[in-house]
């Protein structure tokens, strides 16, 4: 017999997906250990698991998956073909509708690109920033920057200048980080520039002292000067998402955690394995979290199915804790579908958001 881990590996499904389909009565293990609850599968169930994985990747509704597997087991090929064809028609109709909507959206985008009032990109700007503040802000957001070639506007850090505040923002869609530094010398309207990662890294390398540094933006040219050293390069020239609309979260339960102890709990605690990242197809581990009644955050055991549990990419959460750069941080968990916020107790202007991962069991 195959263990649930072996079935997950060979069948193309995650362990959590197998548990979900067991509870849904779709792919039930041949035997469950009455003491440990561990699931075991007959060798012939591997074909069903692989079929189920293909149907799942094709977005087949659960009700149809149930019927397909039942018909497959009964060798009712006509029913299987009919269900597959019906789902394919739904997909084709959905794709046709999506193409129509995207066509309308592209036309709206074209109009926005020709409207100068929709852009915050500046022509010229001069401002001064304490080196230590700018270094801390870059360190707080760098981990969240995107690397997807299809989304070049996310492959940099947004410098959002308004009044005496410089907000730095980075996101790869699955996480977002925001930090703030105080500036002087800028008296213009709110302006933005997206600085590519190689240039932001070069800037960070110069921020080694306590002096004030100077940032200049001339068209698409961005320059940082500190003493007799400088680095310069072109901005990305893309519009960055309106991050201010993305940071208004539903109220959640907050808990203060000791960063070092919580990192250790994540590293050594239980995980839900064998999930796959959408952006690069790489496997990753999930940590499932919950704020308890006494106000602490726990890393939930594998069989803990509390409705308030929130699952996040463990690697992303560890990065966010490091970037928080505090002995204590505040975690805020709202609903299982709402982003997890990681905040600094002493700085409301610096925080990270992690998108949750839907649990299937």
Q: Is the pLDDT of residue 47 over 80?
A: yes
Q: Tell me which of 3.40.50.40, 3.30.70.120, 3.10.150.10, 3.30.559.10 is the CATH number of domain 249-354.
A: 3.10.150.10
133 vs 6: CA distance, rounded Å: 50
* Global pTM exceeds 0.85: no
Class of domain 2-87: mainly alpha
pLDDT tens digits along 69-121? 888 877 778 888 888 998 999 999 888 888 888 888 888 877 766 665 445 55
**Structural element, H or E, at residue 230:** strand 229-234
297 vs 233: CA distance, rounded Å: 43
Q: Kindly list the strands in the beta sheet with 2-3, ordered across the sheet, starting from the edge strand earlier in the chain.
A: 2-3, 39-41, 31-32
Name the pairing type of β-strands 124-130 and 310-313. Answer: unpaired
Contact (CB, 8 A) for 32 and 39: yes
Look up the CATH number of domain 119-244.
3.10.150.10
Residues carrying CATH 1.10.1660.10, the chain: 2-87
Per the listing, tokens 């966010």 go with 320
Residues carrying CATH 3.10.150.10, the chain: 119-244, 249-354
pLDDT tens digits along 223-279? 999 989 999 999 987 778 888 887 777 778 889 999 999 999 999 988 875 555 554
Q: Is the pLDDT of residue 201 over 90?
A: yes
Ramachandran quadrant class, 281 (left: phi over 0; alpha: psi -120 to 50; beta: rest)? left
* DSSP 8-class letter at 25: T
HSE-CB for 353 with a 13 A CA cutoff: 24
- Cα angle at 177 between 176 and 179, to 5 degrees? 155
Tokens of 16: 């959590």
Q: How far apart are the first and last CA of the chain?
A: 23
Using DSSP, state whether 7 is helix, strand or coil.
Answer: helix
The CB density around residue 282, as the number of other CB atoms within 10 Å, is: 9
- Greatest CA separation for the chain: 79
């Amino acid at each position: 017999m195959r263990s649930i881990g072996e079935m997950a590996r060979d069948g193309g499904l995650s362990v959590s997906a197998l548990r979900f389909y067991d509870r849904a009565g779709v792919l039930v293990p041949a035997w469950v250990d009455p003491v440990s609850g561990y699931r075991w599968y007959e060798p012939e169930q591997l074909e069903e698991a692989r079929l189920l994985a293909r149907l799942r990747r094709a977005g087949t509704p659960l009700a149809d998956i149930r019927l397909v597997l039942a018909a497959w087991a009964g060798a009712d090929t006509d029913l299987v073909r009919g269900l597959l064809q019906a789902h394919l028609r739904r997909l084709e109709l959905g794709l046709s509708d999506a193409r129509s909507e995207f066509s309308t959206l592209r036309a709206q985008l074209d109009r926005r690109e020709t409207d100068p009032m929709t852009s915050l990109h500046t022509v010229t700007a001069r401002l001064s920033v304490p080196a230590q503040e700018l270094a801390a802000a870059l360190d707080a957001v760098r981990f969240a920057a995107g690397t997807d070639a299809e989304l070049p506007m996310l492959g940099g850090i947004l410098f959002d200048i308004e009044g005496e505040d410089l907000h730095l923002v980075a996101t790869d869609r699955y996480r977002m980080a925001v930090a703030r530094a105080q500036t002087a010398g800028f008296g213009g309207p709110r302006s933005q520039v997206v600085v590519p990662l190689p240039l932001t890294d070069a800037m960070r390398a110069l921020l080694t002292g306590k002096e004030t540094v100077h940032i200049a933006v001339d068209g698409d040219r961005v320059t940082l000067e500190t003493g007799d050293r400088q680095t310069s390069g072109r901005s990305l020239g893309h519009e960055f998402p309106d991050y201010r609309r993305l940071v208004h979260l539903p109220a959640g339960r907050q808990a203060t955690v000791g960063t070092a102890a919580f990192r250790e709990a994540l590293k050594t605690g239980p995980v839900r394995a064998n999930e796959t990242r959408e952006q690069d197809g790489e496997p990753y581990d999930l940590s499932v979290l919950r704020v308890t009644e006494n106000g602490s955050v726990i890393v939930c055991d594998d069989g803990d199915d509390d409705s308030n549990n929130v699952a996040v990419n463990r690697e992303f959460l560890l990065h966010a804790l490091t970037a928080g750069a505090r002995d204590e941080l505040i975690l805020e968990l709202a609903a299982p579908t709402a982003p997890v916020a990681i905040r600094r107790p002493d700085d409301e202007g610096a925080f990270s958001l992690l998108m949750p991962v839907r649990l299937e069991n």
